[in-house]
Structure 1
Amino acid sequence: MKNIITLLLIGLMIFLVACGDEEQESNNGEESNHEGHSDTQEDEDESLIPVIVEILVDDEIETGEQTLQARVTHNEEPIAEAEEVMFEVWEKDHKDDSDMVEATYTEDGIYEITYNFEEEGTYEMYAHVTAKSQHVMPKHVFEVNAN
């Protein structure tokens, strides 16, 4: 019985030593400053910087065709190639009747749609933006008045 326990302990020690050698080999060529973090990593991971979406719609607009815009930036730089920018527009308390419209890039991080407001009232909108592996959807509430 002692022989079996001794063999198991020796086998376990060999296994642990072998695993330690593999970890050291996997860090070959990189200086490690502490537990798995290497000096070759970038100082700041770009995916941790939030995408900022600013809706550029006045609080009061007129009925008829209106241009709705949003500016999309990342790290204070305009994003010209967002994966997706959709504007969702609805009259307040009628979200089930919302319209989803794909926005078009213009310049300087600005995306826009043209939307026809046929009736006065309070409207709400989301700017659904997917960029830099993030999905951001700020909401804006505004009034539509007769012109």
Structure 2
Amino acid sequence: MKKLIGIISISMLVFMLAACNSGKNSNQEDEMPEMLDVALEVQETADVNEEVPFKATVTQGDEKVSDADEVVFEVWEEGKKEEGEMIDSVNHKDGTYEAKKAFDHDGMFTVQVHVTARGLHTMPKKSVTVGEGVQDENTHSDHEEGDHEHGDHEHGNHSEDFSMHFMKPESIEKGKNTEFIVHLQDHDQPLEKARVRYEIWNDEISDKHEWVDASETKAGEYSGTHAFNEAGLYSVKIHVQNDEGLHEHEEYEVEVK
């Protein structure tokens, strides 16, 4: 009898220890990784043709992130985001990433850095005034043209702090599933629980527009897959909405081979 009680006691002790360890492992798995912190440094004003340095310092907690997967600076003139350019950074292996650009005319420009590291993505931005900047009349005209070209923009609310970064696939083959990923931010924070849809079409092939619903795979990251039946140049418009009335969209082109 005593032997039986001893066996039961030992079994219960082993079970309790296993449960404790399981709980610890579960808590560790549930812990979210620390967010990336990106300090973007861009001077507020510059002369025409002056070389302007861009610097991003990337940290995660107290650690400097020297192994980012991608750090790219996107630069565009106010009202002309679709004409912007991407500038690769130089990694100094100390958590800092730099690039530079000279602006050849007056204007208001936005510099946004896209940082992808350790499964996370963030994209702060700043503005720089070059030369005399831009007159209000021209800015107003640019916005009017943009609203005309993207007619459904007027049906939703817009946030000046909203940012979208489409991870354009490097290559797309017809007949194969292609994953589309977009990162969204609002007020420098991941935009969560949004409704994101990819609208895809090629007017030369068909007048039909296909829609792909995206799923939020992590905070602010939305993924969807689509298989193209024919090769060609396709338009991909990303629609973003949420319960607060936000409605944004941006259009891109992808080539299918």
TM-score (norm 2): 0.41
Residues 1:39 and 1:134: Cα distance change in structure 2 (over 3 Å)? closer
Equivalents in 2 of 1:63, 1:44: separation in Å? 51
Q: Does 1:132 align with 2:123?
A: no
Pairwise CA distance, 1:120: 1.6
Corresponding residue number in structure 2 for 1:60: 45
- Residue of structure 2 aligned with 1:31, choices 18, 21, 30: 18
Q: Deviations over 1:16-51 (max 9, x none)?
A: xxxxxxxxxxx98963249x5236864984x52000
Equivalents in 1 of 2:114, 2:104: separation in Å? 23
Q: Is 1:30–1:40's contact at 8 Å kept on the other side of the alignment?
A: no
Equivalents in 2 of 1:31, 1:139: separation in Å? 48
Amino acid at match of 1:116: A
Corresponding residue number in structure 1 for 2:98: 112
SS at match of 2:111: strand
Residues 1:119 and 1:84: Cα distance change in structure 2 (over 3 Å)? same
Corresponding residue number in structure 1 for 2:68: 82
Q: Percent identity?
A: 27
Q: Deviations over 1:80-116 (max 9, x none)?
A: 1100000000111110110011111125311111212
- Residue of structure 1 aligned with 2:34, choices 40, 45, 49: 49
Q: Is 1:30–1:39's contact at 8 Å kept on the other side of the alignment?
A: no
- Residue of structure 2 aligned with 1:70, choices 40, 56, 79: 56
Pairwise CA distance, 1:134: 0.3
Q: Does 1:92 align with 2:78?
A: yes
Q: Is 2:78–2:110's contact at 8 Å kept on the other side of the alignment?
A: yes
Higher relative contact order (CA 8 A, sep 6+): 1
Give the number of equivalent residue pairs. 118
Which of 72-81 and 91-100 deviates more? 72-81
Residues 1:44 and 1:90: Cα distance change in structure 2 (over 3 Å)? same
Unmatched runs of 5 consecutive residues or more in structure 1? 1-26
Q: Is 2:36–2:58's contact at 8 Å kept on the other side of the alignment?
A: yes
Amino acid at match of 2:128: F
RMSD: 2.9
Amino acid at match of 1:134: L
Equivalents in 2 of 1:44, 1:112: separation in Å? 35
